[in-house]
Structure 1
Amino acid sequence: MKTINIGGVPEHFNLAWYLGLKNAEYKNSGSNLRWKDYFGGTGAMCKGLRDGDIDMAVILTEGIIKDIIAGNKSKIVQVFVESPLIWGIHVSHDSNYKTIKDIKGTKAAISRYGSGSHLMAYINAQNNGWDLKEDLDFEVIKNLDGAVKGLTEGKADYFMWEKFTTKPLVDNSTFRRIGNCPSPWPCFVIAVREDFLKTNKEDVKTILNIVNATTSEFKDIPSIDRMIANRYEQEIEDVQEWLSLTEWSQENISKDTVAKVQDELFALDIIPEKWDYNELVEKL
């Protein structure tokens, strides 16, 4: 039985993978799928793909497109979550910053360069008309625990992370959320290392078919809201709101979406050039 390593963030978006693993669906199909949690997010997963630590990743769209152009030999094979990611903009609960305008020119905590928290800081700056060279500064904090330490100790001033994941930290007065910044495209895609894809395309197809069967009926799973609330330590009303806003996908990423992401990243000087759709995407 072939062992296939896949990485993703340990968040509610990826519960569908856990359910398939728990029910031995991948094993029964002939794949020894092994899940690895990446607390450091997209930047850490990009490194995992590059180093061969994982074969597949459930990863932020903008992050993997940037990293493929930067030399990551991987391809996008499917959109996983069609809806945008709602990035909460957080400050320490005791901070003097009250609005997004107040954090202009201050230091953003990011998990690592090239991560979603890094790239979305540029999107937020552009949305608010900031000078991208003068008004952005960064402090690398690795993960959510690092952000708590960094903001509490004053090493950084604000932190962008998925709104519902950080909601418990807002509820317990660790963070205060001063705004939101939705990603302007589908948030998560599935990427696969090119070398792995060349020789294991049928295995990848099988894995996608299994997870797609789960996500297509995910919201209809009995008591799914309670399951998510318990597993991820969320309030049930927050989970219900998140479910109402989230749509999964079983299709590959469109040419228009790839063009939109690249146009935005290029305009922000995050990528040096734009690539052809087929250099970034593999149709299975």
Structure 2
Amino acid sequence: MTAYPPVLVASDLDRTLIYSTAALDLTMPDADAPRLLCVEVYGSKPLSYMTETAAGLLGRLAAGTVFVPTTTRTREQYHRIHLPCPPPRFAICANGGHLLVDGVSDPGWRDRVAKRLADECASLAEVRAHLVSTADPAWLLKERIAEDLFAYLVVERALLPDSWVTELAAWAQRRGWTVSLQGRKLYAVPKPLTKSAAVREVAARTGAELTLAAGDSLLDADLLTAADRGWRPAHGELADTAWNAPHVDATTSRGVAAGEEILRAFGDAVERYPEDREGGRRRNRAGDLAGS
């Protein structure tokens, strides 16, 4: 039996695979709602969910691939999640700032990230000071630093002026940072801090030749762009801005149902991988012969 290189599946978590109560988007009649599995508890209360069907799909997917949770969450926030699969060997936290190997941050990767940030963009202290000085207490609920890598605000979304976000994005752009608004959280993240860079590192370590990815926010755009195939939900920042790429598909469903749809798409792509790979090799050989 032919042994193929592993398939790497890198997926965002919040509002891609797992959903808070507010993000479930259960629009069907109550009697038709899917059974839900709680995968995260915070403050002694259930916080995040998947459908039970999605849980089964994830378990099968993780058993046959290099499954890499790829999140903007801090390590502490990530470790609150209990996905319905064996603990992944690799996980990416803090938007690529930490590469976890068996749950522990890789020190070599941390050093590489720190050097890039120092060389390529303004300091966290400068950006944080700007956020705090320009934010209006009328809509600012919390201000936080994540892993000493990036900053975010928790805001009252209905009161947050679009003009302030636009001005902040332009200010940050000139300093090598990017701004992303996800629900009630507004993130300011250094441009070199990307999920895709960490995913490429995992691919190099595992020998994966095919990378599949999914995500819903602008911070996932680089991850989807770098993948061989990608999926985005029909909700979220990418959907709101009509972001697309030729190799990225949008789901037809929204909310927690989109997470289930993405996992089905991952599974289908993994099943087709050996046939697609051999077909590609045959086409390449035919092209080589034709050109000889």
Same fold (TM over 0.5): no
What's the TM-score once normalised by structure 1's chain length? 0.30
Q: TM-score, normalised by structure 2?
A: 0.29
Larger Rg: 2
